[in-house]
């Protein structure tokens, strides 16, 4: 769902820095070859992720939901020297494409991929995260937030994608719609969480930025 009128959307993109060529090619190849290509963050959100990462200069980033690696490559742009982004995805079939573009971007040292259930992999990654990007199965968003909040130190940040869920979070939620229910619950939990400062950015499908106090 597009929240902005088309001409505003076009103008916004026309006045935003362009992405590197390898991201254009990754996006094209994802649309040609992979199921549900709209899951990829895309140029505008990707440039925002890159900008946030450059501003925060994280040493260690955790990404939950790699897909074809687009957002991982954007977030890795702002890593400190010798910093590392760990990205988890349950679908191992995506690895050849992820690896192809990580190599093309020259980010082999900066990005480490993990295959598996994120809730099982995260506790094995014993790391002090500076930035966490949650962008996987919506039913587990509350679990991801609670799990990472246990270890994050003051000054760490969390980004959470799809928090508007095509606007469904503002409507009456159907009893069997676990994804929307979870997102509504998480958005309220964050709003009431005294441990954080938060802002819900109406970018694309909604992106929440959380700063741990
Ligand atoms: C929206 S896509 C991620 C998009 C990517 N961050 C980007 O912007 O280019 C969600 C990904 O989460 C993965 N996923 C879903 N459930 C998962 C789970 N339980 N553990 C790990 N990954 C999961 C899916 O395989 C899919 O590739």
Query: Which class is 6-154 in CATH?
Result: alpha beta
45 lines ligand 1 (CB under 6 A): no
Q: What 3-state class would DSSP assign to 210?
A: strand
Mutating to test ligand 1, I would choose from 35, 49, 89, 178 the residue with most ligand atoms within 8 A of its C-beta, which is 89
Query: H or E stretch including 161?
Result: strand 157-161
Tell me the pTM.
Answer: 0.98
205 lines ligand 1 (CB under 6 A): no
Name every residue whose Cβ is closer than 8 Å to that of residue 31 and which is 6 or more positions away in sequence.
37
First to last CA, the chain: 33
Give the model confidence (pLDDT) of 111-120 as tens digits: 999 999 999 9
Query: H or E stretch including 26?
Result: helix 21-33
Name every residue whose Cβ is closer than 8 Å to that of residue 154 and which is 6 or more positions away in sequence.
212, 213
Spans of all domains in the chain: 6-154
User: Which atom of ligand 1 is found nearest the CA of 117?
Assistant: 20
Give the model confidence (pLDDT) of 173-197 as tens digits: 999 999 999 999 999 999 999 999 9
70 lines ligand 1 (CB under 6 A): yes
Give the model confidence (pLDDT) of 77-115 as tens digits: 999 999 999 999 999 999 999 999 999 999 999 999 999
Distance 91 CA to ligand 1 centre (A): 8
Name every residue whose Cβ is closer than 8 Å to that of residue 144 and which is 6 or more positions away in sequence.
64, 118, 119, 122, 134, 136
Distance 7 CA to ligand 1 centre (A): 30
181 lines ligand 1 (CB under 6 A): no
User: Which atom of ligand 1 is found nearest the CA of 39?
Assistant: 1
118 lines ligand 1 (CB under 6 A): yes
Q: Which residues of 149-188 are buried (b: 16+ CB within 10 A; e: fewer)?
A: bebbeeebbbbbbbbbbeebbeeebeeebebbbbbbebbe
Backbone phi, then psi, for 78, in 5-degree steps? -100, 10
Distance 97 CA to ligand 1 centre (A): 14
Give residue 134's pLDDT band: very low, low, confident or very high (50, 70, 90).
very high
């Amino acid at each position: 769902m597009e929240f902005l009128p088309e001409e505003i959307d076009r103008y916004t993109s026309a006045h935003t820095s362009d992405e590197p060529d390898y991201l254009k090619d990754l996006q094209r190849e994802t649309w040609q070859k992979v199921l549900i290509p709209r899951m990829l963050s895309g140029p505008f959100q990707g440039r925002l992720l890159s900008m946030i990462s450059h501003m925060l200069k994280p040493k260690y980033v955790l990404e939950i939901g790699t897909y074809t690696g687009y957002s991982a490559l954007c977030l890795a742009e702002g890593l400190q020297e010798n910093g590392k982004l760990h990205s988890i995805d349950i679908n191992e079939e995506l690895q050849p494409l992820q690896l192809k573009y990580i190599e093309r971007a020259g980010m082999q040292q900066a990005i480490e991929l993990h295959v598996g259930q994120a809730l099982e992999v995260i506790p094995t990654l014993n790391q002090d995260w500076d930035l966490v990007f949650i962008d996987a199965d919506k039913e587990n968003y509350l679990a991801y937030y609670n799990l990472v909040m246990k270890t994050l130190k003051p000054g760490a940040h969390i980004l959470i994608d799809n928090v508007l869920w095509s606007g469904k979070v503002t409507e009456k939620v159907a009893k069997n719609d676990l994804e929307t229910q979870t997102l509504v619950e998480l958005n309220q939990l964050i709003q009431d969480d005294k441990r954080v400062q938060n802002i819900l950015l109406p970018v694309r499908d909604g992106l929440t930025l959380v700063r741990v106090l």
